[in-house]
Amino acid sequence: MSTAPDVRAVERQGIDVIAESDRKGRPRGLFWPWFAANVSVLGLSYGSFVLGFGISLAQATVVSVVGVAFSFLLCGIVAIAGKRGSAPTMVLSRAAFGVRGNRLPSFLSWVLTVGWETALASLAVLATSTVFRELGWDDGVVT
């Protein structure tokens, strides 16, 4: 009988290859973290944006589902390199660009991450302010 790993332990692995015998994760175990990370305030804005084109709710739903599925399919195809190479994609890109040549993709990745977080935080504040205003509560500076 195997014992569960201590969840409070500090990860000691770096960018080195993890042996198959030490890999405990399964795709099913990653569903909730990935699902939670991708269900966001931005999804609500997608819906209003698509409906703004004057199409029906059914058409907007189909277009949104197809668009999201296609974009995540592309992300999944890119992520296959990480699974095959047993390392994160940005680490593996050093093979293509070199250690110094990887600076540009790394910088772009960082800018996209910061931009994503900024957009989500801004939309969350604006959405909260709108809800507060519609409820007749204060939607000023505190929001």
pLDDT in tens, 15-34: 677 777 877 777 777 777 76
pLDDT band at 103 (very low <50, low <70, confident <90, very high): confident
C-alpha closest to that of 127 among 45, 27, 38: 45
Residues 69 and 114 in one domain: no
Residue 27 placed within a domain? no
Are residues 95 and 132 part of one domain? yes
Residues 125 and 106 placed together within one structural domain of the fold: yes
Q: Identify the pLDDT of residue 2.
A: 56
Residues 59 and 73 in one domain: yes
Strand, helix or coil at 15? coil
Please indicate, yes or no, if residue 31 is contained in any of the structural domains: no
φ/ψ of 5, rounded to 5, equals -70, 150
Q: How far is Cα 119 from Cα 121, in angstroms, rounded to an integer?
A: 6
Model confidence at 38: pLDDT above 70: no
What's the confidence (pLDDT) of residue 39? 63
User: Exposed (0-12), middle (13-18) or buried (19+): which is 82, by Cβ within 10 Å?
Assistant: middle
In a domain, 77, yes or no: yes
Q: Which domain holds residue 112?
A: 88-143
Q: What is the pLDDT of residue 84?
A: 79
| pLDDT given at position 79 | 77
